[in-house]
Structure 1
């Protein structure tokens, strides 16, 4: 047996008997599997190259965050942050463990992790073209089979298709939280979500006090927004209220458009990206 053949056989035996010790760095893909890790400088990209997940900083190289941003927008416009209140260093690593949870570590200490109580045999994390980061079984792609999704835990941005409101079965409130400042994604004072009572309404809250309210949904629009277009040429609006869930959702009629809702330190804004100007407009 030649030396190279001996090394090849030894490597094959090692993989067969110790697969949990093999960790591969993610190349350009939309997935993270159990045997891959994501480190600083590496990213995953949604199938059609719309969104990108990776590590970034906002001007301070000693404060690094894990997040999602538009891949083809010149400025790195971040739409989701995992560890907004807990910045990390460049040596941090994101892994998907065998229980189907994403775990972000720095110096072997857990900084952030997902919290799915369900387990599957072959979990994968995937970044979708909607900007939603999901964990699911590799053979199941329906939304109701997701073990966890970032759309349930937004930062300061609402993307088309995202639901803002309540999953009453899980007692889960999905709401936006403003950043502390434009260069600090630490959760700030303002939040935007649905207040539950006999006539649920969307409010911006400052702490526990109502800062701004849209009023209840009257079947066509929010009562506090009389100028809301009934036949909007660009957007679809949906409000659902039943025993299991209460939520508001909007979607784009033209998928070629790039649009988002951002809660800043003072108010909520809808921003649309204009390709010809390479900038966002309100």
Structure 2
């Protein structure tokens, strides 16, 4: 079962299917992502936002899904055990360098566990499908404070022949 929890990549997408995008792929300190809004990875491969598993559910989850695939294929869920009830959820990067989901009453229902404090924390959705929190001022772009790939779900992500475990 653990093998299903690992996120692996296998080459099914060809480079000519990747479309560069001007979409916003980051969320900076104290910015919020409200339900109904999304961020899209720079190459347009993945999208992050709130969604419901079906139209009859009032439960909302923060997830990552393939942008160009229909029907929607969700590959990662942040708050899978604690949904937001209704469309009033907010995602925010806090000054403690944490991603935090708030419900409509302002109560924290999910948060990352970053332990380092930095000056300019930013969340970024990468074209690999990895959601990362990092210091925007750090010269090493892969010096992550937190990343979703460390908290896999039961989905295998197929991408450009790179394997992310």
Q: TM-score, normalised by structure 2?
A: 0.78
Aligned twin of 1:137: 135
Partner-residue secondary structure (3-state), 1:159 = coil
Q: Which of 73, 83, 91 is residue 94 of structure 1 equivalent to?
A: 91
The Cα shift of 1:139 comes to 2.8
Paired position in structure 2 for 1:37: 32
Higher strand share: 1
CA distance in 1, matches of 2:111, 2:121: 15
Deviation at 1:29, TM superposition (A): 0.6
Structure 1 runs, 4 residues or longer, greater than 3 Å off: none
What is the Cα-based RMSD across aligned positions, in Å?
A: 2.1
Q: In the TM superposition, what is the alpha-carbon distance from 1:160 to its structure 2 partner?
A: 5.3
One of 104, 122, 125 as aligned partner of 1:124: 122
Q: Is there any run of 5+ residues in structure 1 with no aligned partner, and where?
A: 1-27, 162-233, 237-249, 252-282
CA distance in 2 between partners of 1:73 and 1:160 (Å): 12
Shift of 1:61: 3.5
State the TM-score, normalized to the length of structure 1.
0.46
The structure showing larger relative contact order (alpha-carbon pairs under 8 Å, at least 6 residues apart) is: 2
Q: What are the residue-to-residue correspondences of 1:187-198 with 2, within 5 Å? A: none
Displacement, 1:135?
0.4
SS of the residue corresponding to residue 58 of structure 1 reads coil
Task: Please give the secondary structure, in 2, of the residue aligned with 1:151.
Answer: helix
| Distance apart, 1:235 and its partner CA | 5.9
149 and 72 in structure 1: CA distance in 2 versus 1, 3 angstrom threshold: same
The CA deviation at 1:82 is 0.4
Deviation at 1:156, TM superposition (A): 1.1
Contact preservation (8 Å) 2:30, 2:95: no
CA contact (8 A) 2:90 2:102 kept: yes
1:54 and 2:49 aligned: yes
